[in-house]
Structure 1
Amino acid sequence: EEHRTKAMAMVGASIGLSFAVSLVFAPVLYARLGMDGIFFLIAVMALAAIAVVTWIVPAAPALPSAKVPLIAVLKNPELMRLNFGVFVLHLCQVAMFVIVPGALLKFAEMPLDQHWKVYLPVVFGSFIVMLPIIVKGERQAKMKQVFVGSILLLMLVQFGFWQWLENGTILIGLLFAFFLAFNILEASQPSLVSRLAPPAAKGAALGVYNTLQALGLACGGALGGWMQQHVGASSVFIFSAVLSLIWLIIAHRMPELPGRVAKRT
């Protein structure tokens, strides 16, 4: 169980890091390969991932199975908090990046192929700052405070974009704060799902969690684009801030994680 929660934390961190790396390299690749080239590269990487899973990743050992009704997973209050959270996090992420690249072009006066000069330091700087925060939170059994504080930071970032999107310097600072909150939440939530799910329902719980994550990505792109076109860029950040506030209220009621469990992650 100890290794399972560590592995899930690594999965979450790798997802956040892959998104961050894509932001750094996408503008450069777009300038060199164009949009068609980027999609071709994605297809090649997908085929490589299939090959790794098929021929390199060892088969999971057979374990005694116990049937757990899916409705029991869906109605679990602790898992519901995390499922709602991952939906909101990725909705805000994609909706925000419907607006941010254009804002960097217009207000920070940075050509598209130069955006990596912003993303690289803010992404990896926030990742470096994130690590000691999570380690300290785990060692001191204060992951709930770290978790809730990161949601609060996410909400404040959305309000910040609403107020100061046209200030290029503040925009870059807000990007750093966003990635700090995003990386902490992305790394910690899969681990929390693994801890809080009933032993016989961990697979189902992670399946539901990943489904809500994908739905959040899809809804963020669709809603972000629609709201920008029909209501304005500010509405995207107001909507994301309100969703983050709801998540904050819900997450504040989550139980404290026992110290022994927190230290093992």
Structure 2
Amino acid sequence: MMNALERRSTFALSSIFALRMLGLFMIIPVFAIEGQSYQYATPGLIGLAVGVYGLSQAILQIPFSLWADRFSRKPLIILGLLLFAIGGAVAALSHTIYGVIIGRAIAGAGAVSAVVMALLADVTREEYRTKAMATMGMSIGLSFVVAFSVGPWLTSLVGISGLFWVTTIMGLLAIAMLVFVPKTTRHHRSFQHGYLHQLKHVLSMGDLNRLHISVFSLHLLLTAMFIYVPSQLINFAHIPLSQHGWVYLPLLVIGVLFAFPSIILAEKYRKMRGIFLTAILGVIIGLAVLIFGFTSKYILLLGLGFFFVAFNVMEALLPSWLSKIAPIQSKATAMGVNASAQFLGAFVGGTLGGQLMKLHDTSVGWGILCVIALIWLIVSFSLRQPRYLSSMVLRLPETDVAHQWTEQLLAIDGIEEVVVMPDQHVAYVKLDKKVLNDDGRQRLTQLFGKELVI
């Protein structure tokens, strides 16, 4: 069971993610209409104003994550959230579409998604990592549904400029949530390579690249679906646009109910690869159902249900798997590449979804998305079961010997990382039980003056 520190940190960091995403998502369902009120607005520039945020995110995730592996993570998160808040203010004060584009680009420059996930990995034990990541994934999904439901209503009250001010307020609230996350100091076997070598090393790892392709594919399909499906819910299910949030919310709840048992199977019984591939198969089944039954209200909802369940399971498993196989000293870098792939997938999915809407045969559009999912399954099939680390929670020794203590720990084969939380006087020691031998256990016993249960 998660301890109080892990629960508090998971809540705070998930809230940071949700507040950012809520501010971002509320703009999407209203800007195509409201954006026309800006001076110099054209359909192309309105689309750019929506999409430039994701482009900035995709470009700057990797630099932020490279820095996060060398420096303290919390100041970088604060910087990113400040940029997000400033960008919202610039857009709110703008009277031309160009000003909105600049504001959205500045907001997107606060590309700290990977840094937030890396910090969550720091402050949670390996055994509870997937549960923490799943909580973050659920918060993102919930913010999506709430934003699509609340965005149009809130715009009617405060206007599009007021909505941008709301994003600024949410960015500042997200900074305040960092108070609940403990100060951490990471210790691992040091490396002297430069940033380029660090990035090349991450990009050379086959299984990491398969996970990057996975998150790209997942968010491509998600974004394309949410551009492609609303008109079908209106035309075939006879559900007005204002009621679509009530379709997505139950599907999200059902997805959550399936996600948590999947997490237990993946972690407790070491079935992550099997659950992962089954989730991709669930996406394929959902899209196949939509190919043949989109004209029927209930079959359309069934296909969406399969997709949402699989999506929630994937959102929970992907960050956890990534944190398990990423190099300890380059964890944030790996997550940064993954986040860039996610935003690029959303960008490509949005573009593809717009093209699919032009098709005369709707089943062909669903067929194209199904083929993409099949390619994703083929690519992912060679994924290997991830390595499972364990964690110990230990009291810190006296301050003057703490640094020496961490060096002695890291000298033991099997000890991968020590995350120190000085304010709480504890440390998480992350280790590989398969590598830790009898000699290592003896050295741990000597170091602590008692035998540890490992």
Category of TM-score, reference length = shorter chain: 0.7 to 0.9
Report what 1:45 is aligned to: 170
Superposed, which structure 2 residues align to 1:32-111 within 5 Å? 32-34=154-156, 36=160, 38-53=163-178, 57-61=181-185, 63=187, 65-66=190-191, 67=193, 68-111=197-240
CA distance in 1, matches of 2:360, 2:279: 28
Q: CA offsets per residue over residues 91-137 of structure 1, 9 Å max, x none?
A: 00000010112211111111222223222211112201221122123
Q: Greater RCO between the two (CA within 8 Å, min separation 6)?
A: 1
- The answer to whether structure 1 residue 22 and structure 2 residue 144 are counterparts is yes
Q: CA offsets per residue over residues 127-162 of structure 1, 9 Å max, x none?
A: 012211221232221111110000011112122222
Matched position secondary structure for 1:69: helix
Task: Tell me the CA shift for residue 233 of structure 1.
Answer: 4.1
Q: CA offsets per residue over residues 20-54 of structure 1, 9 Å max, x none?
A: 4422452344145347255543343233224445x
Instruction: Answer 1 or 2: which has greater strand percent.
Output: 2
CA distance in 2, matches of 1:222, 1:157: 21
Report what 2:339 is aligned to: 210
Which among 353, 369, 380 is matched to residue 224 of structure 1?
353
Residue pair 1:8, 1:191 contacting (<8 A) in 2 also: yes
Q: How many residues align?
A: 262
CA distance in 2, matches of 1:135, 1:23: 25
Instruction: Answer 1 or 2: which has greater helix percent.
Output: 1
Larger Rg: 2
CA distance in 1, matches of 2:276, 2:164: 35
What letter is aligned with 2:373? S
Change (3 A) 1:15 1:71: same
Residue pair 1:83, 1:208 contacting (<8 A) in 2 also: yes
CA distance in 1, matches of 2:271, 2:148: 36
CA distance in 1, matches of 2:266, 2:391: 9
Superposed, which structure 2 residues align to 1:170-209 within 5 Å? 170-209=299-338
Residue pair 1:133, 1:146 contacting (<8 A) in 2 also: yes
Report what 1:164 is aligned to: 293
Report what 2:248 is aligned to: 119
Matched position secondary structure for 1:108: coil
CA distance in 2, matches of 1:228, 1:164: 17
TM-score after normalising by structure 1: 0.86
Which among 360, 363, 369 is matched to residue 240 of structure 1?
369
Matched position secondary structure for 1:105: helix
Report what 2:279 is aligned to: 150
Task: Tell me the CA shift for residue 232 of structure 1.
Answer: 5.5
CA distance in 1, matches of 2:240, 2:324: 44
What letter is aligned with 2:288? F
Residue pair 1:142, 1:257 contacting (<8 A) in 2 also: no
* Root-mean-square deviation (Å): 2.8
Which structure 2 residue ranges, 5 or more long, are not aligned? 1-121, 393-454
Report what 1:3 is aligned to: 125
TM-score after normalising by structure 2: 0.52
CA distance in 2, matches of 1:166, 1:80: 37
CA distance in 2, matches of 1:97, 1:221: 9
Matched position secondary structure for 1:256: coil
Change (3 A) 1:236 1:38: farther
What letter is aligned with 1:96? M
Matched position secondary structure for 1:229: coil
What letter is aligned with 1:19? G
CA distance in 1, matches of 2:142, 2:243: 15
Change (3 A) 1:148 1:95: same
Higher deviation after alignment, 66-75 or 205-214: 66-75
Matched position secondary structure for 2:270: coil
CA distance in 1, matches of 2:270, 2:144: 33
Higher deviation after alignment, 162-171 or 112-121: 112-121
CA distance in 1, matches of 2:277, 2:343: 22
Residue pair 1:141, 1:262 contacting (<8 A) in 2 also: no
Which structure 1 residue ranges, 5 or more long, are not aligned? none
Change (3 A) 1:231 1:91: farther
